[in-house]
Amino acid sequence: MGCDLAVKIDDKAYFVDGAHIDDYGDAHDKKIGFCNVVRKAKVTGTIENNTFKVTSFEVIE
């Protein structure tokens, strides 16, 4: 089973293109892994064809 990085903007989820889920630590870590918990991030980019094209992605601790 795999996990994909996505962002939620205005209550809609978009898969992320331009960043990988493992770029932000172990995706399966029980406390901080994106596969196990929702985390907040400061992101910039554009929505194209229902995908978020990231230009910057910073996890907010």
Convert the pLDDT of each residue in 7-58 to its tens digit. Answer: 999 999 999 999 888 888 888 888 888 888 888 899 999 999 999 999 999 9
Distance CA(57)–CA(45), nearest Å, equals: 9
Q: pTM of the entire structure?
A: 0.80
Phi, psi of 34, rounded to the nearest 5 degrees: -60, -25
Query: In angstroms, how far apart are the furthest CA atoms of the chain?
Result: 32
